[in-house]
Amino acid sequence: MLRVTLALTLLLLSAAPASAQNPWLQRRVLNIAHQGGEAEFPSNTMYAFQHSVKAGADMLELDVGVTKDNKVVVMHDTTLDRTTNGHGTIASHTLSQIRKLDGAYWFAGGKAPYDHRAKRHPFRGKGLKVPTLQEVIKAFPKTPINVEIKGRTKAEKPAEYIRNAEVLAKLLKNSPRRDIIVVSFQQPAVDRFHQLAPAIPVAPGIDGAARWVLNDQSPGDGVVAFQLPITYTVGSQVFNVTTPENVARAHAQGYAWHTWLSDDGESRQTWTNLIDWCVDGVMTAKPVAFERLLKAHPAPASCG
C-alpha cells in the first residue's frame, strides 16, 4: 500500500520544487533494496527485485551502464567479470552479447556473496540474465526506483559518466513516471541528466552534496533527496555525514535523506540508529532482514 500511495503522490506532485511539498518525505522509513538486496539475492537481477519487493522493500536501488549499441543495462560494475561469466566492459559489448551471459554466475551468498572460489553457486544456470532498465521499469510500475549512473573515467574527466547520463536521459525524458530518482557520484553527470530530462527528480553527486554539507549552498537543481553514507573518508580524515543534525537541516529545507551503507557496514544497531535519526530511507543490501527490524522498530513519532 505504501508503494502505491507514494507512486500516486509523486505523479501528482511531479512539478513541486524541493522547497515545496516533497513527496519523498515519508513518515515510514523507506526500505530501499540496494542492488535489489545484493547480500540476500543476486545483484541487480529481476529475481532480486521481485523477491525484495515481495519481502517488503518500498523502493529498488539499481545501477546502470550503457552498451556498445547504446542500450541501458542494469549492473553495478562497469565490467562483466565479477557477477557474470563474461569478461571486459559493458561499453565494449552489445546488448545481444550481454543477454547471452549468466547474470548470477558468481553469486555464492553468505558473507562474501560474490566469491569466485566458493564451492557452490546456487543460481548458476538458472536463467538469470542482465536486465535492461526498460524491463525493470515495466515490471515494477508502482515501485519507486533509484537509478545510479555508473562510469569508469576519473573525476577530472567524467566523460563516460556524462555519455551514460545522456543516453539515460534520452530513455527517461518522456517517461510519465516521477517515482524515479537519478543519481551519480559525478556531479557533471547529474547536471547533464537534469539538463536533458528536467522532470525526473535527482539526488546530488559528491560535489553538490559537499556544497550543501560544508557550506549550506544549493546541492543543485532538481534535487529532492540526499543519498549519502554515514561517514565519508578523505585521506586519513573521517567525516560524519549522516547525523541527526544534517538530517533535520535537510528536512527543514525540504529535502529527503536516504543513507547507503556499503562503506559503513550493516547491523541491527546501525539500522536502529538511522531510524532514530529520522532518515527517510535506508539503502540496504539486506532488505528482508531490514524489513523485520523496521516492523519491530518504526520511526519515532518525533520524525513526523
Identify each DSSP E strand in the chain by its residue range. 30-34, 59-66, 72-74, 145-149, 180-183, 225-228, 231-234, 237-240, 256-260, 281-284
Do residues 230 and 241 touch, judged by C-beta distance below 8 A?
A: yes
| Cell numbers for 81 | 567479470
Q: Is 116 labeled as catalytic in the residue annotation?
A: no
Question: For 104, what's the count of Cα atoms within 13 Å in the CB-facing half-sphere?
Answer: 28
Q: Is 34 labeled as catalytic in the residue annotation?
A: yes
Question: Which single residue is written with the C-alpha cell 520544487?
Answer: 17
Marked catalytic residue, from 51, 76, 93, 121: 76
- 3-class state of residue 60 by DSSP: strand
Do residues 83 and 75 touch, judged by C-beta distance below 8 A?
A: yes
Chain CA centroid to CA 119, Å: 30
Marked catalytic residue, from 34, 51, 93, 258: 34
- Integer Cα distance of 275 and 253 in angstroms: 20
Dihedral pair phi/psi, residue 277, rounded to 5°: -85, 0
Please identify every residue annotated as catalytic.
34, 76
